[in-house]
Structure 1
Amino acid sequence: MEYILLIIGFICMITGIIGSFLPILPGPPISWLGILLLYLTPEVKTNYWILGITLFIALSIVILDYIIPAKGTKRFGGSKYGIWGTNIGLIVGLLTPIPFGFLIGPFIGALVGELLFDKKDHNRALKAATGSLIGFLASTFMKFVVSIIYLGLFIMIIWKNSEAFF
């Protein structure tokens, strides 16, 4: 049974890393699930501090993942129209079968939202859309780093308990 938990936990780790780039999958929470499955094996002594801290970080990242692109839009001079456009564009970009729709969608959504707000100021609309893209990339990088750290923690725990597993 422990080997099944190890394999499923490792699959969760890889899925979490992939989920860092695909907004439809919550990367860090899936990676955290892999750590939880590792601690459910009888060979690994449960460390509630590690589980609690990593859960808190994973949930914080999920919340920040929605806030950062909108804040990026606002920081670069965007209005509420641009922020709404970013969020709507992200959803449309995910559902549209075009390559990199999850990157193009928020950018175009913020651009369209800002142009609806002020049709004459194209520079400000482009600047806000760029802020949306930068915010999205920052949030993706943050999720990727956390998922990689969780993978390292997963491997470290397995290594530490390697005599029990192998």
Structure 2
Amino acid sequence: MGYALLVLAQVAGLLLIPFGLPGTWVQVGAVAAYGFATGFSTLGWGTFALLLVLAAAGEAMEFALGGRYARKYGGSRRAAWGAILGGLVGAFVGVPVFLIGSVIGAFVGAFVGAAAMELTRKSELRGALRVGWGAFVGRMVATAAKSAIGVAIAAVALLSAAG
């Protein structure tokens, strides 16, 4: 029964990640609960520490990639921060679309934040839109990378718990 709950929690965590919600932390929390319930007999502290590091790396990547891509597409440091902050605000505010509003909001927020901040630096609309597009692409890459880390967390957790 405990293993089945761990599987369900891992799947739930994976489903939360694309929505900008803390899915990797749900996964790690489930591993901690499972470990505590089993006295860490099958899941050792080393495995738990590895999963914590993976979750933290996923958060750092998600936070930084929008800004990094904005810079890669010719944006300033200000545009990079605009992409990061715009993505966070957009995910929080979302758009009025059932279930995926926060995802759309994060992508749109990264685009608008980077483009707007680039426009404050120089008033060339075409360049600002290019930078905004870079932030949008960066947000997509960040979501994919964090989802891959979530899959790795689930694999390590489930294989370790089954052992």
Q: Would the TM-score normalized by the shorter structure come out above 0.5? A: yes
- Counterpart-to-counterpart distance in 2, 1:41 and 1:134: 41
User: Does the residue aligned with 1:77 lie in a helix, a strand or coil?
Assistant: coil
Query: Partner of 1:37 in structure 2?
Result: 33
Return the alpha-carbon distance in structure 2 between the equivalents of residues 142 and 58 of structure 1: 11
1:29-62 Cα offsets, whole Å, 9 max, x none, are: 2211222222223274341221111211211221
Give me the whole-angstrom Cα distance separating, in 2, the residues matched to 1:112 and 1:98: 22
Corresponding letter in the other structure for 1:29: W
Name structure 1 gaps, 5 residues minimum: 161-166
1:45 and 1:152, CA in 2 relative to 1: closer, same or farther beyond 3 A?
A: closer
Distance in 2, matches of 1:19 and 1:130, equals 25
Q: Alpha carbons of 1:96 and 1:141: their partners in 2 closer, same or farther (altered >3 Å)?
A: closer
- 1:5-154 residue pairs with structure 2 within 5 A? 6=3, 9-23=6-20, 25-42=21-38, 44-94=41-91, 95-99=93-97, 100-119=104-123, 121-154=124-157
Name the % identity. Answer: 17
Q: Is the 8 A contact 1:90 1:109 kept in 2?
A: yes
Q: Which of 1 and 2 has greater Rg? A: 1
Distance (Å, rounded) in 1 between the aligned partners of 2:29 and 2:17: 14
Structure 2: gaps (5+ residues): 98-103
Instruction: Considering Cα pairs closer than 8 Å and 6+ residues apart, tell me whether 1 or 2 has the greater RCO.
Output: 2
- Count of matched residue positions in the alignment of Structure 1 and Structure 2: 155
| TM-score normalised according to structure 2 size | 0.81
> Contact between 1:9 and 1:33, CA under 8 Å: does it hold in 2?
no
Given the two structures, how large is their TM-score scaled by the length of structure 1? Answer: 0.79
Deviation at 1:153, TM superposition (A): 2.6
TM-superposition CA deviations, 1:126-152 (whole Å, max 9, x none): 221111112111111111111112222
Superposition CA RMSD, Å? 2.2
